[in-house]
Structure formats: structure tokens, C-alpha cells
Amino acid sequence: MTSRDVLISGAGLAGPALAHQLHRYGFRPTVVERAPALRDGGYKVDIRGAAADVLKRMGLYQAARSADTGMRHVTYVRRDGRQIAKLDADLLMGRRGDDLEVMRTDLTRILYDATAADVEYVFGDAIATMTDGPDGIDVTFTSGATRRFALVVGADGVHSATRRLAMGEVPLRYLGAHIAIFDVPNELGLDREEIFYTEPGRMVFAYSTGGAAPAKVGLVFGADEPVLGREVLADRFAGLGWQVPRFLDLLRGTDDVYFDALNQVELPRYSAGRVVMLGDAAHCPSPAAGQGTSMALVGAYLLAGELAAAAGDHRAAFDRYEARLRPYVDRNLAFGVKMAGDMVPGGRLSLAVRNYGMRTLKYHPLKRQIIERVTRPLHDAANAIELPSYPMAPVA
Ligand SMILES: Cc1cc2nc3c(=O)[nH]c(=O)nc-3n(C[C@H](O)[C@H](O)[C@H](O)COP(=O)(O)OP(=O)(O)OC[C@H]3O[C@@H](n4cnc5c(N)ncnc54)[C@H](O)[C@@H]3O)c2cc1C
């Protein structure tokens, strides 16, 4: 073992992004992923502001750009399916300049392909125990293997097991809603478009990137307390209009459903000893923020750069990583709280006001400026960091 051997738990987005940069700085990363293979599926994710710069510095921006979803518009509909408003997708989702939207699975694949030849990936295994010592950290895996590393990075998502092992149980901040996402056949013929339908306390969306891609359906509902299983969905969405009865029928026939509470992770400190948290494991902003991917990329850039610059002093690197990242994270977490509240309007009045605003907006001569003003907080949060240049910055 040398001070350059780093174990990364999780081959999602943050893990491979870090491995890519660490390798280029001369580290020897190993990525352990609990799933038996790279996880496919998932939803679309945004790469905004500073994160687009990170991809450029990693030399992967063009690859991500070629995978852009090219979503064209977003339509809001009523209970009977009639249109309330149809708006430009990039404008409404706050994407500007070089911002991108890609399917999560495409970005994972791009990051994996860029690292697979140089980085050791271990699939179907996970960290079971970690013992932090003066010369390294001894790790046992659930497979029974044991190895020593200089550092361990927890990039294993919002419910991170690495975080639990290193820091104990950290309470998640529940944002008052749940989300379910699943694939359905594209019976609506959606072609790079998304449809939203909202009732008090509930929001339904469906989108497809077109071609042979299935449609993704999302069901979001408010609840005072976190609920445990997806069984509640049929009940919560009973009696709704638009395509919801058909979606519920399709839901009954599928096991592959992403279902979770909208939660945030707020850590008082991102590291403990030789273990440091990255991506959602450190600061999940909840899917409502639409910023988790960007935050994971920015965090990976900072952590790799600080580890390289600190020349073996991991404590100094962790301190600087935290100091640089935290103000940007705080801004995005605050944005996520606000968005979670807006996703499921509580009452009929607030919904009616919103729908009226949408309806009149489409005729408004200053439509673009108005939407830009509304999405400004997202744009600002996405750019709320100046990326440092590191001495051994990866070639762009
Ligand atoms: C429904 C939904 C919609 C979203 N929409 C957007 C969006 O529009 N824009 C956006 O920017 N972000 C969005 N996000 C957030 C985004 O997906 C995450 O913020 C991002 O994936 C974080 O990357 P990560 O690598 O930190 O974690 P993850 O992508 O969760 O990856 C964690 C990896 O760790 C693995 N793992 C878990 N436990 C272990 C273990 N014990 N040992 C080893 N491996 C383990 C997992 O299998 C996974 O591969 C959305 C998230 C969800 C759930």
C-alpha cells in the first residue's frame, strides 16, 4: 500500500468522476460497487454552470454534449389532458449557455468508459468494516477480502453505508414529499418532450427522449411523515385524471421502480479520519433541486485537486476541499428546499394561481425574461463557486 492507494465506494457519478481525475494526478484508485455491474436505467440529469466547466477540464464535455437529451418542450396539462401551457424545455429548466441535460445512464457510461482501462473496478462487493490506523485504513469487504488503503471515499449515494461506518447514523432532512420513477411504453408518442399534470399535493410527469426510448413516469406526492413503501402510490394517486389510471395499471406490472423520500444530507463535516464523503453521500440536495449531479462533479474536481495539491497530507486536503465546497453546497441545499416545496402545491388556490400564470405567460411579450427571472436562483446556485486551477490539473 502507498499513500496513493484510494478506495472509492460507489460507481455512480461521483465515484468514477473522482477516479478519472485521481488517476490523472498519479493516484491508484479502486472503485468498489455493490451492484453486480454498472447500473443502467435512471432518469435525466442536468449538468449546469460550474459542473459543465468541470467536464471540460476532464476532457469529457463533448462526449456528454453528444448525449444531450435534446428535450424540446414542457407541456402543462389539466385533468382532462387539455393543454395549459407549452414552454421551451431549456428555458423552463433553467439551462443556459453550455449547460446540458443527459440521461443518468449515459453519463455513468461516459465516466466509466473514460476510466475502465486505468482504474480497478470491483463489482458486486462492498465495504463491510473499516479500521483507521496511523499508516492507512484496513478494509474488509463483504466478499471476505481484506485490503489496506491510504484513504476511503464514500461516493455511495444518499443512503451511504460508508458514511454510516465512518460517522454513525446521520439523520436525513426530510423535505415533505416522495418521488417514484418508472419506465412505461411510450404510448403517448412523446418525442423529446415532457408533460406535467398537477393536483393539490400531487404531481405527475412523463417524458421521453424519443426514438425507441421508453417513457419515464414520475409520481410525486406530499406527506407530513416519510412513508416506507411504494404500495401507497395506488392510494395516493387514485381518482386523478389525465393518464394517471393507465400509469397506475402499468406500475402494478413492474418491479423496477425508483421510490424514495425527498431527502437532503447535511453533514457537519465531510470527513472523519481517513474517510471522506463525496456527492450525494456528502450533500444530497434531493432530486427536487436538479443539482445533485452537478454538485457531485464539482465535489470530485475539488477533492481530486486538493488531494494532488496536498502531496500526501490528507488532513489538509480534506480541510481545503470542505472549505471550498461548502458555500456552494449550502446555496444548492437551500435551493433544493425551496424547489421541494414548489413541486407539490398544497392547495387548490395556489395551484389555480400557478395555472393562471402559466396560461397568460404564453401570450406575454416578455415571456423569456420572466422565465429567466424565475429560474435565476437555479442558475446562480449552479455558478456559486469559482473553480480553482490546480497545479496538476487534468488536460482538457
Ligand atoms: C429521481 C431522481 C431524479 C433526479 N434528477 C436530477 C436532475 O434532474 N438533475 C440532477 O443534477 N440530479 C438529479 N438527481 C440527482 C442525481 O442522480 C444524484 O445527485 C447523483 O446521481 C449523485 O451521484 P452520486 O454518485 O453521488 O450517487 P449515486 O448516483 O446515487 O451513486 C451511488 C452509487 O453507489 C452505489 N452503492 C450504494 N451503496 C453502496 C455500497 N454500500 N457499496 C458500494 N456501492 C454502493 C450505488 O449502487 C450507486 O452506483 C436525481 C435523482 C433522483 C433520484
Please name the residue whose Cα sits nearest to atom 14 of ligand 1.
Answer: 287
The CB of 13 under 6 Å from ligand 1? The reply is yes
Tell me the C-alpha distance between 306 and 272, whole Å.
Answer: 16
- For the chain, helix, strand, coil in percent to 5 are 35, 25, 40
Tell me the C-alpha distance between 328 and 339, whole Å.
Answer: 17
**Three-class SS state of 357:** helix
The pLDDT, as a whole number, for residue 373 is 85
Query: 292 CA to middle of ligand 1, Å?
Result: 8
Identify the weakest region by mean pLDDT among 24-28, 94-98, 153-157, 160-164.
Answer: 94-98
The CB of 126 under 6 Å from ligand 1? The reply is yes
Query: 208 CA to middle of ligand 1, Å?
Result: 20
**Residue among 20, 32, 33 whose CB has most ligand 1 atoms within 8 A, to mutate:** 33
Contact residues for 107 (Cβ-Cβ < 8 A; gap 6+): 13, 45, 47, 64, 67, 293
The CB of 164 under 6 Å from ligand 1? The reply is no
Quick one: cell of 260? Answer: 424514495
The percentage of residues in the chain with a pLDDT greater than 90, rounded to a whole number, is 79
Asked whether residue 372 carries a pLDDT value surpassing 70, the answer given is yes
The domains of the chain, with CATH numbers, are 5-65+100-172+266-343+377-382 (3.50.50.60)
Let me know if 241 is exposed, middle or buried by CB neighbors in 10 A (0-12, 13-18, 19+): middle
Please name the residue whose Cα sits nearest to atom 31 of ligand 1.
Answer: 12
CA neighbor of 104 nearest in space, from 67, 72, 74, 50? 67
* Structure confidence at residue 396 as a pLDDT band (50, 70, 90): very low
The CB of 258 under 6 Å from ligand 1? The reply is yes
Tell me the C-alpha distance between 75 and 269, whole Å.
Answer: 41
The pLDDT, as a whole number, for residue 393 is 54
Burial state string for 83-105 with b = 16 or more CB within 10 A and e = fewer than 16: ebbbbebbbbbbbbeebbbbbbb
Query: 11 CA to middle of ligand 1, Å?
Result: 9
Query: 44 CA to middle of ligand 1, Å?
Result: 12
The pLDDT, as a whole number, for residue 395 is 53
